[in-house]
Amino acid sequence: MDVELPADDDAVLTAMIDLMRRVSPRESVRVLDMLSELQPELADDLAGHFDIKLDSVKDEDGDYIQCDYNMVGTSYRSPWSNTYHPAIPDAPLPSPRLRELELVLNKAFKVYTQMYFGGGVCSVFLWDLEEEKPRDMGFAGAVVITSPPPPTDAVDMRWDSFHVFECHERGRSAKYKLTSTISVFLKATLAPVVVDKVTSENEGEANLCAHTARQAEYDYPLTTPQGHVANIGRMVEDME
Amino acid sequence: MVTMNQVVELIHLAPPGQLKEVFDDLSIIVDDKEHFPDLLKDELQRFNRQQFAVVQHEPFQDVPVHTSIISKGSEDREHRYVDYETERSFILDDTTLNPVEYAPYNIAEGSRILRKELEKSLKAYVKDSYPTGHCQVSVSAINPQALVLEAKDSLDQVRTNSEGLDEGLNKEGIEQTVPPPVQTAAREGQVGSFFILEIVAELDNKANFWTGKWQSEWKVDPTIRSVTGRMNVDVHYFEQTNVRLQSRHSIQSEFPLRLKDDRSIASYIVTRVANIEQTYHQKLFNTICTLDQDSLKRLRRVLPASGSKIDWDQVQSDIYNDTTLGQNVSQIDISPAYVYEPIMTQTIHVQKE
């Protein structure tokens, strides 16, 4: 994934990453889009550093997330139906055995988001990796979560998380390399109030937002091929 | 299509004390080296005014080294800024923050004493409450009739000057409908001078991964005894993360009619400002604690309602064993947020300690 960039491009990419780390997380998607448009040839590299952009959509397949990890061109693959919307010929799909795992993971994480967020949308996307020994399964995936909309207007809040991992099976165990990015947005609106006879507050707000990225490695036993579900579940629960 | 203007506007996203870093990043990112510096210079002018840039002045006559605040309040119509300590105006180099080309500046006689009293009180308060604070009291004269004439004149000028430049005309025209905030022509006896009290305090603790800023502005109009103000707080914390707190608040208040002499008016107003700021500080602190402790937990529970972590082995085997359940899961209508009754109680198995 790491591309050797000419010295100039390298400096530009470094500057863009630095800028992205300074602007408020509330502005970062907008800034990311601008920078990508300014330097289209570096857009993918830049996006690879910032897992921040997602949309949740509802269609006949159910709720799922649209993000870089299920995008081909301008189409997105639904993790429920395994088809692209809008349809696109020859788009990549996970291998059948990985697809089965993907579907089960999507169901399992539906449970997870219900338990922790009381709703929201979570999508899991998997893709195959080439392994040296053909018997070992190697794959990568992304667990992407967005919280449900808040119930009242008093506090506007959102939780977005990306858990991107690589998994390599080694006999009866599996190694998972995880990179997680969690974005939290909290905004309290302070309603106008009369303080005393002569003083009144017009309006006010407090905005608190955060991006945090963490990396971790997990070694879990893997006695059956299905064991990935529990392993990935534990890993994400632990990280969040 | 991203315009160069949009790019230079990104400097306004710089966290407190990090303009230089953002500036440097943008200079590297932008290809257009021809137009960029000029556009950036214009934007820096706006940035310095909005952010209350602090300018240091060398000793002058018997006034030692001192500072003044760059703002709309201290700007005159010729885009010069006023240094009230030495009663001079100057031009600002927006890139280096160096003041140049000083010229004498007349403060309207009628406002002079009250301004000085306000400054004395405000300085004492700021010294007490803001370890790195700077403050300033500007005088602004409003004479509604003069303003209208002023606006009309300016509009006429804009129209003749920028013939054929529709965009420029519209932009300037709109700006001119807003009364210019500062009138240098403040003369003795002129109706309705008002005062602008400004406070700015910036803390730069990059060694411990945070920078922060307080900014407040209070407009005091003695003729209608009104005080209106706004306060801004901006904090950036960045140790292996990017956390930003931004808050703003605006307030209006008035002071009693019985205050007659300048000293008691000044003292009353600054006490009032101090009280409001203290209240806001406390309120903001409480709000953040609520956001952090209460709201965040409502957003994502620390543990599921069951009180323990998810039994993933059970979830796994349930899904593999029960295909219909699996289908149901994908069809579930998410119940209203924050109702933490697990819908699929049959699939959730609590780990018993």
Residue A9 in tokens: 């491009």
Residue B333 lies in a domain: yes
Instruction: Report, as an integer, the average pLDDT of B160-172.
Output: 35
Q: Which residue of A has its CA nearest to B310?
A: A112
Per residue in A71-100, pLDDT tens? 988 899 999 989 898 888 888 889 888 898
Identify the H or E element spanning A184. Answer: strand A173-190
Per residue in B86-120, pLDDT tens? 999 999 998 889 999 999 988 888 888 889 999 99
Residue A118 in tokens: 């009381």
A:109-138 residues touching chain B, CB 8 A cutoff:
110-112, 114-120
**What ipTM was reported for this prediction?**
0.84
Instruction: Give the integer Cα–Cα distance in Å for B214 and B51.
Output: 10
Angle at A52 between CA A50 and CA A58, to 5 degrees: 145
Who's near B264: CB < 8 A, 6+ residues apart? none
Closest CA to B84 of B69, B71, B95, B96: B69
- For residues A124-140, b (16+ Cβ closer than 10 Å) or e, as one string? bbbbbeeeeeeeebbbb
Instruction: Give the integer Cα–Cα distance in Å for A184 and A113.
Output: 15
Query: Is the CA virtual torsion B327, B303, A210, A234 positive or negative?
Result: negative
B271 touches chain A (CB under 8 A): no
CB A91 within 8 A of CB A72: yes
Read off the pLDDT band of A191 (50, 70, 90): low
User: Residue B183: pLDDT above 80?
Assistant: no
Could you count the other beta carbons within 10 Å of the beta carbon of residue A103? Answer: 20
Residue B15 in tokens: 């966290």
Identify the H or E element spanning A90. Answer: none
Instruction: Report, as an integer, the average pLDDT of B159-183.
Output: 36
Residue B327 lies in a domain: yes
Helices and strands: H and E segment counts in chain A = 5, 11
CB A105 within 8 A of CB A124: yes
User: Residue B336: pLDDT above 60?
Assistant: no
User: Residue B344: pLDDT above 50?
Assistant: no
B103 touches chain A (CB under 8 A): no
User: Residue B191: pLDDT above 80?
Assistant: no
Q: Of the candidates A15, A111, A149, which has its C-beta nearest B344's C-beta?
A: A111
Q: Of the candidates B21, B283, B344, which has its C-beta nearest A22's C-beta?
A: B21
Residue A111 in tokens: 């449970």
User: Residue B322: pLDDT above 80?
Assistant: no
Instruction: Give the integer Cα–Cα distance in Å for A104 and A228.
Output: 10
Instruction: Give the integer Cα–Cα distance in Å for B175 and B166.
Output: 14
Q: How many domains does chain B have?
A: 1
Mutate to test the interface with A, among B232, B276, B278, B315 (most CBs of A within 10 A): B315
Instruction: Give the integer Cα–Cα distance in Å for B72 and A9.
Output: 40
CB A100 within 8 A of CB A108: no
Above pLDDT 90, what percent of chain A?
31
User: Residue B14: pLDDT above 60?
Assistant: yes
Beta bridge partners of A211: A183, B242
Q: Of the candidates B25, B247, B283, which has its C-beta nearest A18's C-beta?
A: B25
Q: Of the candidates A21, A157, A199, which has its C-beta nearest B242's C-beta?
A: A21
Residue B319 lies in a domain: yes
Domain assignment of residue B317, given as a range: 312-347
Residue B150 lies in a domain: no
Instruction: Report, as an integer, the average pLDDT of B327-337.
Output: 38
Q: Do A229 and B26 touch (CB under 8 A)?
A: no
What secondary structure does DSSP assign to A128-155, as a single string? EE--SSTTS-EEEEEEEEEPPPPSSSSE
pLDDT of residue A164: 94
Instruction: Give the integer Cα–Cα distance in Å for A100 and A230.
Output: 15
User: Residue B32: pLDDT above 90?
Assistant: no
How many residues belong to chain A?
Answer: 240
Average pLDDT of chain B to the nearest whole number? 76
Angle between the N-to-C axes of helices A96-117 and A228-239, in degrees from 0 to 180, rounded to the nearest 10: 40
Instruction: Give the integer Cα–Cα distance in Å for B226 and A202.
Output: 14
Closest CA to A145 of A61, A64, A35: A64
Instruction: Give the integer Cα–Cα distance in Å for B113 and B273.
Output: 19
Residue B295 lies in a domain: no
Who's near B17: CB < 8 A, 6+ residues apart? B202, B203, B204, B206, B211, B213
Calculate the alpha carbon distances from A157 to A209, B44, B292 in Å. 9, 33, 11
